[in-house]
A and B are shown apart, each in its own frame.
Chain A
Amino acid sequence: MSYPKGTIIRNSTPARLNHWLTAACFVLLTLSGLSMFHPLLFWLSSLFGGGQWTRAIHPWIGVVLFVSYCGLIVQYFRDNIWRREDLEWLRAINKVIVNKEEGVPEIGRLNAGQKFVFWSMALLVPALLLTGLVIWEYYFGRATSIETQRIALLLHSMMAIAAILVWIVHVYAAIWVRGSMRSMTQGYVTAGWAWRHHRKWFRDLVETDSPGPRPITNERGRK
C-alpha cells in the first residue's frame, strides 16, 4: 500500500485485514444470533439458508471471531492501556460530544472511548465463546447439566446484546469522526486529522520520525 505524501499511517495492512475479518464475523453473528433471539427477527435466518443452517453456522463463525479478535488484542493492547490523560479526556467528554476541541486534553493513539470499546469486547468475546460452547448442542449438549446450560444461554444472550450496543457506539463513532473510516480502509489519516484527534500520538510520531502507526522505539526503550 502506498500512502499519499504528508499523511500518517494509522493502521497497518495486517491490522486492517484482521479488523475487517472481525467485523464480518461480528455482523454475521449478530444477524444469525438475533434471528434465534426474537421471533420478530427469525426472518434473518433466511440470510443463512434457513433455521437449520443458521443454528449450525453461528457457533463456527463465533470461533473464527474469537481467534480473529485475539489477533486484534495482540496488535492493539499496548495502545489501549489506560493512561492518566484518559481520565482528563473523559472529564471533557461534554465538549468532545459536541465537536468542540478547545480545552480537550491531548491524547495518544487511542482515546478513552476507543479504549472502552476495545476492553469491553476483550471481555465479551471470550465470555461469549465460553457460554457459546456450553450451549453448542451438537458437540457439548451432554457435557454440562441442563441448569448450567440455562444460565449459559441467558448470559450468552445478555452479553450478545451488550456487545451489540458497544458495537453501535463503535460504528457510530467511525461515521461521526470523519476520516476514521479511511484509516481502517486505506490505513492512513491526514496530518491534520492526527493533530486534531490524537495530538499526543502525532507529536510522538513526529518526534521519533515515524511514519506511523507507532512511534519508533530504540533499544534503550525511548518512545
Chain B
Amino acid sequence: MSNLQSQDYIRISATTVTPPAARSWEDQVAKLIDVTRCIGCKACQAACMEWNNLRDEVGFFEGTYDNPLDLDPHTWTLMRFTEYENPKGDLEWLIRKDGCMHCEDPGCLNACPAPGAIVQYANGIVDFISENCIGCGYCVKGCPFNIPRISQADHKSYKCTLCSDRVAASLEPACVKACPTGAIMFGSKKDMTDWAGERVIDLKSRGFENAGLYDPPGVDGTHVMYVLHHADKPSIYAGLPDQPKISSTVEFWKGLLKPLALGSIAFGVVAGFVHWITAGPNEVQPEDEAEANHLLASKGRPTADPSRSIAEETP
C-alpha cells in the first residue's frame, strides 16, 4: 500500500520517537471470519484480487482445493481446506480464510528495520508502506502467522491490507462485501466480539461444545478474528497457531540486544580514548634502536643512518 496517511498511525516500524497521536478518537475495527458459515466458494479471494489488482501466475493442480497453494506477493488471502475426522468418526470439512491477522502487537512491525515500512493505524489495521520497504524479510521472521511474502521481482513485502484504502473511505473490505453467506463481517472490534458471542452460543446449542472466538491474547488480540467450531484446537484448521506469540528469539533480538550492543560499542570506543589520554602511545625509544642496531651490526647487516631517524616520522 502507499503512504496516503489518510488514517492515523499509532505505531511506526524502526522509529524511536512517538508517532503523531493527537487525533485519537477512532474506533478499533475488526474483521470477523465465521468459519462455521463459510462454504468455500472463494468469492472473497476473487474480490481481493479484483480490488487490489492482483493476478498471480496460474499454478499447478496438486490434488487439493487450495488454489493457489500458498500466499504469495500476488495472493493476500487464501482459502485453506482441511478434511478433519472428528472423534465420532465423522468427516468435517474445515475451510479457513488465511491472511494477515492484523495483530494488536504485530511481530512484523517489531522486527522491521526500515523506518515507516510497516505502520499500524489508530483503528488497529497493520499496513505495509511499500515505498519504505527494503526487502530484508525481517517481517517474515517477526510474524507468528507466517503471512508476509517478499516479491522476487521488486523486493517488497506484501500481505493483506485489510483494505485500509477502502476502510479510510468508510467502506468495508472487498472480501466482506463479496461473501455470499455473511461469513465475513466487518465493524468495530467490540461489535464483532459481541456478534461472535451470539454465534458461539448458537453453535454450542447445536452440539459444538468447544465453539469459540479466536482472538489470541499472545499478540494482544487481533483485528481479524475467527469463529471456530473447535476453538480448543485451532491447529486443526490448516495449522492455525494454538497460542501465537512473537518468538522469544525475535523479542530478545529487537529488545535487550539493541541497547546492549550500542552500549558495548560505545564503551569500547570510550575505553580506548581513556587509555590514550592516560597511558598514551607506546613509542619506540632511542635505546631500542641502539640495541637493535647493535645486534644487526654484530651480524654484519646494514643499520639505519642515525642522522635520519625513521622512528620519528612514524604515523
Contacts and interface: CB of A to CB of B under 8 A. Distances in A.
Interface of A: 4-7, 35-40, 42, 45, 50-52, 54-56, 97-99, 135, 137-138, 141, 146-147, 149-151, 153-154, 157-158, 161, 164-165, 168-169, 172, 175-179, 181-182, 185, 190-197, 202-203, 206-207, 209
A110 to B, nearest CB: 16
Interface stretch (B75-83, B201-209, B288-296): B288-296
A178 B265 contact: no
A190 B115 contact: no
B5 interface: no
A100 to B, nearest CB: 10
Interface string B115-151: 1000000000000000010111110110000100010
B10 interface: no
B115 A42 contact: yes
A99 B140 contact: no
Given A97-B275, A176-B275, A178-B284, 4 more contacts: A42-B113, A151-B249, A181-B315, A203-B295
Contact of A36 (B136, B155, B257, B269): B136
Nearest to A166: B268
Contacts of B146: 146
Nearest to A186: B315
B301 A137 contact: no
A150 B315 CA distance: 45
Nearest to A139: B152
A174 B81 CA distance: 64
A29 to B, nearest CB: 14
Contact of B279 (A40, A98, A137): A98
Contacts of B86: none
Interface in B223-270: 247, 249-250, 252-253, 257-258, 261-262, 264-265, 268-269
Q: How large is the interface on B (under 10, 10 to 19, 20 to 34, 35 or more residues)?
A: 35 or more
B83 to A, nearest CB: 25
Given A176-B282, A191-B293, A202-B292, A6 B113 contact: no
B280 A146 contact: no
Contact of A194 (B136, B264, B292): B292
A206 B295 contact: yes
B258 A37 contact: yes
A150 B250 contact: yes
A5 B114 CA distance: 55
Interface of B: 14-16, 113-115, 132, 134-138, 140-141, 146, 150, 152, 155, 247, 249-250, 252-253, 257-258, 261-262, 264-265, 268-269, 272, 275-276, 279-286, 288-293, 295-296, 299, 301-305, 310-311, 314-315
Contact of B134 (A54, A135, A147, A161): A54
B268 A206 contact: no
Contacts of B291: 192, 195
Contacts of B265: 161, 164-165, 168
A179 B284 contact: yes
A178 B155 CA distance: 47
Contact of B281 (A52, A178, A206, A209): A178
B249 A150 contact: yes
A191 B292 contact: yes
A190 B284 CA distance: 9
Contacts of B16: 39-40
Nearest to B293: A191
Contacts of B275: 97, 172, 176
Nearest to A164: B265
Nearest to B113: A36
